[in-house]
Copies of this chain bind each other. A is one copy, B any other.
Amino acid sequence: MGNLSVRDAQTCVLEHVLIRDTEVVKLEASLGRVLAEEIRANRDQPPYDVSAMDGFALRSTDLAMTPVALTIIEDIKAGDMPGKTVQAGQCSRIMTGAPVPAGADAVIRVEDTRMLSDENVEIRIGVDAGNDIRLLGENMRNGQVVLSNGTEITPGVIGVLATVKCAQMKVYRRPRVAILSTGNELEGLDEPVDPDKIPNSNSYALMAQAQALGIEPVLLGIARDDPEELAQFVRRGLLFDVLLISGGSSVGLHDHVRPTLEALGVDMHFWRVEMRPGHPLAFGTTASTMVFGLPGNPVSSMVCFEQFVLPALRRMMGHSHLFRRTIKARLTHPVKIRPGRTEFIRVVLERNESSRLPGSYVASSTGTQSSGALLSMALADGLLVVPSTSSGLAAGESAVIQLLDGAVFQDEPGIEGGT
């Protein structure tokens, strides 16, 4: 139980994730959840050969010489069934999604035609058999598994669920998360301002980090530096799936947290991780609860949540994609660090429009990297990860960036040219 590397600590945490049970939710409330069952198609889709375009269904052999005039024998809308068979020299006007009539083997889109009269249309180009026809069952076959257990429910997945008429589905339950802050120096959000105290920001930042994952945590409040009071709070926290305790887990003299946790039966797995910020990070478990002792410094607390709590919560919810998206970016300035710990540096990203290389971002530090400088966390697009073996990076060097919540969107479309 020495000082662990970030990766080893992540591995330890993820090994202790307990499988959550499942619940049934309605389609309207399923976004972001993870399927706990496989979903099968309940129909062929399309149910018959259908037109992929608004145009005319015809016999491709009639187009050997173009332009050619054809006689329109029927109008087929989406939702209609065709009544007539297309013979040589004939065609049926057809809408996107409408069934292709018997006799026809291709569709030609309306843009490649010209009306000659109400009943005659000129076809201007030839096409092969099958043109602009979507075949029966092309998208899904009745009974086929279309979504597997463990699929994250994105908007596209919701579209598929609606396609197979799945109005409710089994998903993994979200963990219940409790958040506790500790320390005599903390001032609650609802308490009057006392300049000698430190506002309790950690509870709220952690709350928001959990909310961003779709979890509504319970804030237990602030436990003062009193063993009895702390024990009372921790006992309540151990009724949850996850207990986040911020502050109080340092090596300091006045730390009641460790003995309290151990006295209450929490099996502690580690107390230190070789990272900066966030060195004093503790992790323990009971039979039903994961307990994270997060540093008291606001930035450290948030960075530790990102690295350890976030992947654990996502695994509990059934996700296989547990980690923040990373990209690479070139540094606009050198970064110097003491080797020995993985370093997480708050950075802002800018698109590198001049580059023709596949990595199009440059990254710059938000400024002070003091772990109290929460404002820099608010400004950051990402966390630049410097490996523990590195003593720094040069300007122009390429580095790994974890994208934070605010970086999912950008200010420019990023589409090249004027199109």
Specify which chain B residues have a CB less than 8 angstroms from the CB of A161 in the assembled complex.
204
Is A388's CB under 8 angstroms from B419's CB? yes
Name which residue of chain B comes closest to A319, CB basis.
Answer: B409
Q: Is A96 an interface residue (CB 8 A)?
A: yes
Q: Looking at chain A's contact residues, is the secondary structure mostly helix, strand, loop, or mixed?
A: loop
* Chain A residues within 8 Å of chain B by Cβ, number: 144
Complex-state Cα separation, A8 to B27, whole angstroms: 35
A123–chain B nearest beta-carbon distance, Å = 17
A170 to B: closest C-beta gap in Å: 17
Q: Is A20 an interface residue (CB 8 A)?
A: no
Residue of B nearest to A273 (CB): B419
Q: How far is the CA of A357 from the CA of B399 in the complex (A)?
A: 10
Nearest chain B CB to A325's CB is how many angstroms away? 5
**Best-surrounded residue of A207, A314, A327, A358 (most CB of chain B within 10 A):** A358
Which residues of the partner chain B approach A322 to less than 8 Å between Cβ atoms?
409, 411
A164 at the binding interface (Cβ < 8 Å) = yes
Check B411–A328 contact: CB distance below 8 A: no
Known: A139-B374, A159-B378, A359-B357. A323 touches B413 (CB 8 A): yes
Cβ–Cβ contact B370 & A134, under 8 A: yes
Task: Report whether A195 and B47 are in contact in the complex, using a CB–CB cutoff of 8 Å.
Answer: yes
Residues of B within 8 A of A254 (CB): 75, 77, 95
Of A147, A184, A200, A205, most buried by chain B (CB within 10 Å of CB) is: A205
**With A252-B95, A415-B7 as given contacts, are A201 and B154 in contact (CB-CB < 8 Å)?**
no
User: Chain B contacts of A97 at CB under 8 A?
Assistant: 183, 185, 198, 296-297
9 A–B contact pairs at CB < 8 A?
A5-B419, A47-B196, A96-B296, A162-B205, A311-B413, A323-B412, A324-B410, A326-B413, A359-B359
10 more contacts with CB within 8 A, not counting A8-B418, A47-B195, are A6-B419, A54-B251, A155-B208, A155-B211, A156-B378, A163-B201, A327-B327, A328-B360, A342-B419, A389-B417
